[in-house]
Structures are given as C-alpha cells and as structure tokens.
A and B are shown apart, each in its own frame.
Chain A
Amino acid sequence: MASTVAEQGEDERDKSGQPAGDGGAGRTAAGSVQPEVRRNWRVRLRRDKSLILMTLPAVALLLVFNYLPMVGTITAFQYYDPLDGIRNSEWAGFANFRQLFGDPLFWHAMENTLYISAVQLILFFPIPILLALLLNSVLNSRIRSIIQAITFLPHFYSWVLVVTLFQQMLGGAGLLNHFLRSHDMGTWDVMTDPHTFSLLVTSQVVWKDAGWGIIVFLAALSAIDQNLYEAAASDGAGRWRRMWHITLPGMRGVIVLMLVLRLGNALSVGFEQLLIQRYAVGHDAADVLDTFSFYYGIGTQNYSYGAAAGIFKSVISLLLIWGANKLAHRFGEDGLYRK
C-alpha cells in the first residue's frame, strides 16, 4: 500500500511543479535525459504507441472484471432475474434498500462487522508496531533475519490452511482440549464458541499477518537519522526517553497512514476467513456484511438484494476513508493523499 501512496504523492508533486498544458514550449523535463519539447499529440502518439499498446491487456482485464461489475451494481435497483438479464429485469427503485434497512439479520451482520473490527483495531493494530520495535533492537543481523523470515511465513498461507491449523490446535479434538482433558479441566472447543469468536478471529489475524505487518514499520525505523539517537544519548536521554522523543515521532506518519487504511477497511473483516468458519460457529456469530451479501445474494439467488448490501458497504467504506483522511490531516499528517 505504502508504495502506491508514494506513486500518487509523486504524481501530485509532478503536477503542481510543472503546470500542464500542451505546447509548453521550451520546458525541459527535469531528471529525464532527453530534454523534450511537448509537441502535438499526433507526434506523441507515434512515439508512445507501443507503450500504450503494452498497457492494453491489463486495462482490458480491468474493464471486464472491475469496471463492468461497477456498472453491474445497477442490479441493486432492479428485481434482477438471471433469465432476463440486466436489460430486461424489472426496475425496483429503492425497494431493495428499504427491505435491507428493515432486515434484522442485516443489522445483526452490521453489528458483528463493527464489533469484530473494533476488537481487531485494539488488539491487532499495536502488535506489528511493538514487534517492529522489538525486532529492530536485535543487534545480531543473522538472528534478526531468521526471526523475520519466520514471522513473515504465515502471511503466505491460505485462510483454509490457517483455520485448519487453528482447528487442530484449539478445536474439540485439538491439542488444547487434549491437554485440558488429560488434566481434568473440562473442555473448551474454541472453534465453535460464539462468545469468544471475535477473539478467535483476531488471534488468527495476528498469527497470520502481524509478522508481515512489521515491514512498513521497520522501513520507518530504518529511515530515522541515527545521529539523533547519539545526540540525545550524549545529552543524557535514556532508552525510554529516546524512544518517546525520537523513535515514535519518526514512526508517526506511517502509523497514521496504517490507521487510516484500517479505518477505511473497517467494514471488511476477513471475508474468506469468516466464510470458512461460519459452518462451525454458526451464522449468528460469523455473519458480517460480506458474508451477508454472499449468502443472501448468491446463496438464495436473490442477487439484487445482495448487490444492495454490497453497495451500502462500498459507500460507507468510501466515507470512512474520506473521514479518516480528514482526521489525519487535522493531526498534521499526509494520510492517504495530500491535502
């Protein structure tokens, strides 16, 4: 994500640095080898046509599988019937949304989504930061890279695999319950307990992604000027004061950026992860907005209804990203894009 942001930032600066406009004669391209005069688009087309051609396969795939579905969201305003297709299906206006907002199952899914999201924000978010600080303080670079490799590894496992591993560890027939049973302490099937489900889901996310999450924070740490530490130490600042006054301010930008992204994704809580476990723990605990949209859209073939739930989620998510960015700007940080 971070490099994306860099891209955009770069372009923004590009734009503001050099006012656009065709035929800006005599303008030299800073940093580029050939100082090129911007001629009319025919000349540029001839020059760049192979470059444009190269982008077309990717653009075509995106048009079909990303933009066409965006157009397809109008099914949410229809009573979509696969036999009639989008063109001939009956229009519903906002009926699907009215039905959605009156559906207790939908609000329950919303509640679950927000709850799990909040638990993850509190219990997951700080862990990569702490791990990065800890790992950064390991002096032996060999040990450091071994630990780093081990913590990265689970990120590349599928959710089916991660859930299976958790099932073998914490499930009814798993290692934990074998231990409990052999010590006469009763049993606790963590995998099917709806009361602790949000904690289970969060611990799975921690196991899988906390190690991977440290990358951006390690990068921020390595960008801090080491001379600051030496200067502070010679002024008598101890470890904790150096961390408070140098390390944390140095990481602030990245932490805020990650927070913005997390808040923007507050309504997306591990779709595949929850889908896989819905069967074991029951829909009451496991239904979130995404699974709701899936089960009541595709499962019951009520496509328009599911699409309506999807639109609702997208709109709220965009608002959340926008709001989180506003907040970041208020704290004097860049966030996702510059002001």
Chain B
Amino acid sequence: MTTLTAPSAGGRSRPRHPNRPSWEEPPSVAGEGAKGLTLGAVVVLILLPLYCVVLTSFSTPGAINRAGGLVIVPDGLTTDAYTTMLSDDTVRRSLLVTLGITVVGTAISMAVSVLCAYGLSRSRSLGHRFLLLVLVVTMFVNGGLIPTFLVVNGLGGFGKYWALILPSAVSVFNILVLRSFYSSTAAELIDAARMDGASEWRILWSVVLPTSRAVTAVISLFYAVGYWNTFFNAMLYLSADSQKWPLQMVLYEYVNRGMNMPGQVNSGFGVAGHSQTAPLSLQMAVVVLTLLPITIVFPFMQKHFAKGMLTGAIKG
C-alpha cells in the first residue's frame, strides 16, 4: 500500500474509478482486499445477530430443535410465534403503553424544544444569554440519580406514566441543534418576516416550521427513539405494576431474565434454557417487536440526519 507503484500488471487492467482524483496512485490489490474484508466483517458483525433473531422468531419448533437454539439456515418457517405473542395480554398492553408514551412524549418534547429553540434564536434578544446559560449548565451539572428520584416521587410520580415523560422531556442538546439551525440556515427568512411586521408566533408557525422540516424530523426521531427505549425510569417508577410496563420492561423481565409471563406459565415461556425450543421463537418475536419500528424508520431518516449532524459538527 505504501509503494508508489508504477502501474504494473494489476493496476493498469482495471479502469480508474471516476471518483478517484487523477493525482492519486492506483490502489494495490492487497490494500483494497483488506479494506473490503474489514468493512465486510463490520457489516456481518452488526447484521448477523439481527438476522438470527428474526429468522428464529419465524422458525417452527422443529427447526429450532434441530438447530439446538438460534436458527441460522432457514428450515421450516411459521408465524405462530407472532400469533401467540399478539394474543398475549401483557405484550399487547405493553405495546400500547410504549406507543402512547412515545407519541405523547415526542409531542411534548418537540413542542417545548421548538418553542425554546426559537425563543433563543434571535441574537441580542433580552435575556437570551442568561436563559442559554440556564440550559447549558444542566449539560454539565446534575443533581444525580437519588435527588431526581426523590423530586419525582415527591411530586407524586410513583406509578404514573408522566414519570417516564416529563423528567426527560427536555434535551438541551436537541434544543441547541434546533437553535443553531434557526439562527443560521433559516435566519434570512426570519429577518425578512420580522421586517414585514409578523409576530414571533406567526413567524415560528408559518416561516420557521415549514422551512425546517428535515431538522424537525431528525430531532423528533431522536426524542421518539428515547421514549421507545425508555427502560430505567419504568423500572424505577412502574416496576411494581406489570400492567403499566412498557415494552422494554417486558423484554427485560421475560426474555433477558427469563421470568414467566403471566399468561404463559403453562407453555413454559421463559426459564432460559435451550431445551425449551418453542418459547425461544416467542422470545425472539418480542425482540423483533422492540427493534422493528426503529429499523424500519431508520433508512428514511438516515440521509437527513447524517447531513444535519455533519453541518452541526463542522461548526465545532
């Protein structure tokens, strides 16, 4: 790879890649091979577990038996696990709870964040420096686990859904990303609207929001993923009442720790052991249920946030 090879045997036969600058020496076969192998290995390491889990969730008990655990080669497919899972009250309830928390939480977070980001986006508005400081301080200093728990408890949050939403509703980082967008990319439009005498509320609603759909979508995704994945707060405030568990709690208790599911005692769900092959497909179906929405939404968002995060990062 180091050598500035005169284009000999291997080099000349292949056409130059159109994206390769003309001054760059042709790649060595060994170098290209090593690069391909490494990147291939990275992709396989990430996708293999997902593939096995999805395949196992669709496998028949016989296939899982023959494989002795996770299935790698398709061998008898069925959707039984999903039928069983979706007829299970605990899973159904937790899915509803998680959907509710995600939708309500994201709505609250976005409303609060967009308002705050826009409110701080005008340079030299009264008090914006102080308010910004109030925000940024929380990124570096926090009261810690116990005092936060005591505050939420003191406000009566124990056993309430809002304990999963309000304490984490504001992400200062997300607000700063929105603000930097409003005060850079959207700045000219905003200034023009101010010249026309539009009120701030009107500017936000009919100028800022329509022109910043991409960044709004990205930040919404960040919040939604956070709520979808909420686990620790659920464990802290809702663990006593399995009726209120979100999906991640169900995944933890029944798959990770192998507890019995209330409705599934007889069929032997849980008790992690590879001899009980039928429930394994059910467990994997729960895993698929938790990873599915993120995996589906993700490809549509990817190009947006790669771009958004890049512009954010370049400034730093």
Q: Which residues from chain A sit less than 8 Å from chain B, CB to CB?
A: 1-11, 14, 29, 31-34, 36, 38, 41, 44-45, 47-48, 50-55, 57-59, 61-62, 64-73, 75, 80, 82, 85, 131, 134-135, 137-141, 145, 147-154, 156-161, 163-169, 171-175, 178, 181-182, 207, 211, 215-216, 218-220, 222-223, 226, 229-230, 233-234, 236, 238-240, 254, 257, 271-272, 275-276, 279, 290, 293-294, 297-298, 303, 306-307, 310-311, 313-314, 318, 321
Give the CA-CA distance A72 to B43 in the complex, in Å: 46
Q: What would be 21 A-B contacts, judged by CB atoms less than 8 Å apart?
A: A3-B315, A6-B315, A34-B191, A51-B200, A65-B167, A72-B143, A73-B143, A75-B147, A85-B154, A145-B306, A147-B39, A153-B295, A167-B256, A168-B287, A178-B70, A293-B145, A307-B147, A313-B144, A314-B141, A314-B144, A321-B140
* Chain B residue nearest in CB terms to A18: B124
Q: Which residues of B contact A61 (CB under 8 A)?
A: 112, 166, 169-170
- Assess the B287–A219 pair: CB atoms within 8 A: no
Given contacts A34-B195, A297-B146, contact A7 B49 (CB under 8 A): no
**Is the CB of B261 closer than 8 A to any CB of chain A?**
no
- Assess the B191–A32 pair: CB atoms within 8 A: yes
Given contacts A131-B42, A240-B2, contact A3 B312 (CB under 8 A): yes
**Is the CB of B294 closer than 8 A to any CB of chain A?**
yes
* Chain B residue nearest in CB terms to A143: B39
Give the CA-CA distance A4 to B273 in the complex, in Å: 47
* Chain B residue nearest in CB terms to A166: B49
- Assess the A165–B142 pair: CB atoms within 8 A: no
**Is the CB of B30 closer than 8 A to any CB of chain A?**
no
- Assess the B316–A3 pair: CB atoms within 8 A: yes
Nearest-CB distance from B292 to chain A (Å)?
11
Q: Which residues of B contact A314 (CB under 8 A)?
A: 141-142, 144
- Assess the A69–B116 pair: CB atoms within 8 A: no
Give the CA-CA distance A220 to B67 in the complex, in Å: 46
Give the CA-CA distance A207 to B150 in the complex, in Å: 34
Q: Which residues of A contact B3 (CB under 8 A)?
A: 238
Excluding A6-B316, A157-B291, A178-B70, 18 further A-B contacts by CB distance (< 8 Å) are A51-B120, A52-B131, A55-B116, A57-B111, A58-B115, A58-B175, A62-B170, A64-B166, A65-B152, A69-B150, A159-B229, A161-B287, A164-B251, A207-B45, A215-B306, A220-B313, A229-B24, A238-B3
Nearest-CB distance from B99 to chain A (Å)?
15
Nearest-CB distance from A48 to chain B (Å)?
4
- Assess the A236–B4 pair: CB atoms within 8 A: yes
Give the residues from 219 to 277 in chain B that come closer than 8 angstroms, CB to CB, to chain A. 225, 228-229, 231-232, 236, 248, 251-252, 255-257, 272-274
Nearest-CB distance from A119 to chain B (Å)?
19
- Assess the A50–B201 pair: CB atoms within 8 A: yes
- Assess the A310–B145 pair: CB atoms within 8 A: yes
Give the CA-CA distance A151 to B41 in the complex, in Å: 11
Give the CA-CA distance A137 to B172 in the complex, in Å: 34
Nearest-CB distance from A6 to chain B (Å)?
4
Q: Which residues of A contact B42 (CB under 8 A)?
A: 131, 147, 151, 211
- Assess the B2–A303 pair: CB atoms within 8 A: no
- Assess the A134–B316 pair: CB atoms within 8 A: no
- Assess the B256–A5 pair: CB atoms within 8 A: no
Helix, strand, loop or mixed for chain A's interface? helix
- Assess the A215–B310 pair: CB atoms within 8 A: yes
Which 6 A-B pairs have CB atoms at the shortest separation, nearest pair first?
A: A69-B143, A72-B147, A310-B144, A54-B119, A2-B316, A158-B229
Give the one of A7, A71, A294, A307 with max B CB within 10 A: A7
Q: Which residues of B contact A72 (CB under 8 A)?
A: 143, 146-148, 150-151
* Chain A residue nearest in CB terms to B150: A72
Interface string of B69-80 (1 = CB under 8 A from A): 110100000000
Q: Which residues of B contact A5 (CB under 8 A)?
A: 316
Which of B113, B126, B290, B313 contacts A44 (CB under 8 A)? B126
- Assess the A219–B140 pair: CB atoms within 8 A: no
Give the residues from 121 to 166 in chain B that come closer than 8 angstroms, CB to CB, to chain A. 122-129, 131-132, 134-136, 138-155, 166
Nearest-CB distance from B186 to chain A (Å)?
13
Q: Which residues of A contact B284 (CB under 8 A)?
A: 168
**Is the CB of B14 closer than 8 A to any CB of chain A?**
no
Give the CA-CA distance A104 to B296 in the complex, in Å: 47
* Chain A residue nearest in CB terms to B167: A65
Which of B127, B173, B273, B310 contacts A218 (CB under 8 A)? B310
Q: Which residues of A contact B23 (CB under 8 A)?
A: 229-230, 233-234
**Is the CB of B6 closer than 8 A to any CB of chain A?**
no
Give the CA-CA distance A151 to B129 in the complex, in Å: 38
Give the CA-CA distance A186 to B227 in the complex, in Å: 41
* Chain A residue nearest in CB terms to B168: A65
Nearest-CB distance from A199 to chain B (Å)?
15
